[in-house]
Amino acid sequence: MKRARPTPPPATPTTSRSSPIPPLPTPPQPRHSSKKHQKIIFQPTNWAPVNLTQSELSLPLTFPTGQTFRWKQTGPLQYTGSLGRHLISLKHHKNGDVYYQIHHSPSQPAAKSALLSFLNTNISLTEMWHGFAAADSRFAELAQHFKGARVLRQDPLECLIQFLCSSNNNISRITKMVDFVSSLGDHLGNVEGFEFHAFPSLERLALVTEQQLREAGFGYRAKYVTGTVNALQSKPEGGVKWLESLRKLQLQMVIDSLCTLPGIGLKVASCIALFSLDQHHAIPVDTHVWRIATTHLVPELAGASLTPKLCGRVADAFVTKYGKYAGWAQTLLFIAELPSQRALLPSVTVNEKKSSKKRGSKAQHGPSNTEEGGQQAD
């Protein structure tokens, strides 16, 4: 599977990367509604602090790096997205602290609670990184330049559908697909030219046919989306509850369970586990992570072909090195590999990366990449 490489988010809503994909057709509307958008009147709240410093949350290092494809850049250092039926913006204050504004919500307290859960605010990034730095001098060096790269806690259904769209894909096309799916949900409002919707329910997704998705540019992924939706609907306890129940299981059971769904393999399952199911030591392994591992953790594997068995060895090496939050460490190390972020690094570190890339060029039998990629776009 190829891992897409994300480009920095557009400065304004009107700029976008060119794509050979034709414009997506208008998504099918619910049978009970004849209106695409219903006017919603809601007075945005004043900006309020999230109580996270930039060292705890850097928005540019968290949102455009491929964990999620539903949040849009709506201003300088500002990102907007929906959490359930809550439409929220986040931005950095002049001192770097993170503030939030609620544009639409049935309950402001519920919106704040959803936001804090989404941002994993019960986890101290600073304390965690102190432990990583003590175990790894290279991590300690990189952490000085990439403070605030946080792992999100997404809704499991949203996360699953997004990463089904990511298979052998690039960020531009993934975003178009995710936007199409999102537009099937209830309209929440417009922020700086972007239309935002609640993510559609499983029942709403079940109304979409494979043919409609193919016409929308999903290609072979269409059958995986509809197949997975059908599989989730067949769960006795309901698909959403089944996904949420995976948060209580051991990682291997989570991976095995997710891999029973159409179109989900080890890599995508690991992404979903890390970004939505509280499996903080899940390690999605692709070319970037493979190169990091064979250069710094398991050099004896350099030159080998990347197989599922070796993916397991790489994941074990990360956990041995970084412990129960190894997935968070891997996220920072991955971001540091992105060309768009290398300008933040001292020249000596950049030269080291170039050298390691040459040393690892013989091992490129695993997934390759065609575009600057996101945290785990497949």
Summarised one tens digit per residue, pLDDT across range 112-145 is 999 999 999 999 999 999 999 999 999 999 999 9
**Phi, psi angle pair for 122, to nearest 5°:** -75, -5
Q: Report yes or no on 371 lying in a domain.
A: no
- Residue at a domain's end among 121, 141, 167: 121
Domain-ending residue, one of 99, 121, 143: 121
Q: In the chain, what is the greatest distance between 2 CA atoms, to the nearest angstrom?
A: 61
pLDDT at residue 167, rounded to an integer: 83
Asked whether residue 313 is domain-assigned, the answer is yes
Same structural domain, 219 and 256 = yes
- Is-contact 3 369, C-beta < 8 A? yes
Tokens representing 207 are: 């109304």
Query: Can you name the residues that pair with 134 across neighbouring β-strands?
Result: none
- Residues 196, 239 within the same domain: yes
Range with lowest mean pLDDT among 34-48, 81-95, 162-176, 234-248: 34-48
Q: How many CB atoms are closer than 10 A to CB 86?
A: 23
Band the pLDDT of 169: cuts 50, 70, 90.
confident
User: Residues 290, 243: one domain?
Assistant: no
- 354 pLDDT above the threshold of 80: no
Give domain status of residue 217, yes or no.
Answer: yes
Share of the chain above pLDDT 90, in %: 73
Whether residue 237 sits in one domain with residue 168 = yes
Q: Which one of 35, 72, 267, 353 is the catalytic residue?
A: 267
Residues 78 and 165 in one domain: no
How far apart are alpha carbons 248 and 378 in whole angstroms?
A: 26
Q: Report the CATH number at residue 68.
A: 3.30.310.40
Mapped onto helix, strand or coil, the DSSP state of residue 370 is: coil
**Mean pLDDT over residues 59-75, rounded?**
95
Residue 56 shares a structural domain with residue 74: yes
**3: pLDDT confidence band, cut at 50, 70 and 90?**
very low
pLDDT, tens digit, 9 for 90 and up, residues 290-301 = 999 999 999 999
Give the residue with greater pLDDT, 26 vs 53: 53
Encoded tokens for 221: 């992924």
Q: How far apart are CA 98 and CA 371, in angstroms?
A: 30
Q: What is the pLDDT of residue 25?
A: 52
User: Same domain for 180 and 231?
Assistant: yes
Q: Which pLDDT score, from 0 to 100, does residue 342 have?
A: 72
The pLDDT of residue 41: 55
Helix 156-165 / helix 171-182 crossing angle, nearest 10 deg: 130
Mean pLDDT across the chain, nearest whole number?
Answer: 85
The 48-49 sheet, strands edge to edge: 48-49, 98-104, 86-92, 78-83, 72-75
Residue 168 neighbours by CB distance under 10 Å:
15
Opening angle at CA 119, ends 117 and 125, nearest 5: 120
239 and 204 co-located in one domain: yes
| Domain assignment present for 269 | yes
Distance between CA atoms of residues 113 and 117, nearest Å? 6
Is residue 360 predicted with pLDDT exceeding 60?
no
Angstrom distance (rounded) from CA 88 to CA 100? 7
Q: How far apart are CA 366 and CA 1, in angstroms?
A: 8
For the question of residue 223 being annotated catalytic, the response is: no
Does residue 307 lie in a domain region? yes
| pLDDT tens digits, 37-53 | 444 556 788 999 999 99
254 in a structural domain: yes
Q: Is the pLDDT of residue 172 over 70?
A: yes
The reply to whether 260 and 318 lie within a common domain is: no
> What string of DSSP letters covers 303-314?
TS---HHHHHHH
Residue 264 shares a structural domain with residue 302? no
174 lies in some domain: yes
Cβ contact 252:274 at 8 Å: no
Nearest Cα residue to 49 out of 108, 100, 113, 104: 100
What one-letter code names the amino acid at 252?
Answer: Q
pLDDT (mean) for 162-171: 90
Task: Tell me how many domains the chain contains.
Answer: 3
Amino acid identity, position 229: V
Co-location of 205 and 315 in the same domain: no
**8 A C-beta contact, residue 205 and residue 184:** yes
Is the per-residue pLDDT at 86 higher than 50?
Answer: yes
Pairing of strands 86-92, 78-83: antiparallel
Mark whether 66 and 166 lie in a shared domain. no
Domain limit, last residue, from 105, 121, 137: 121
Range of the domain at 166: 154-279
pLDDT at 347: 57
pLDDT for residue 345: 73
Q: Amino acid identity of 247?
A: R
Looking at the domain assignment, is residue 50 inside a domain?
yes
Q: Inform me whether the pLDDT recorded for 275 exceeds 50.
A: yes
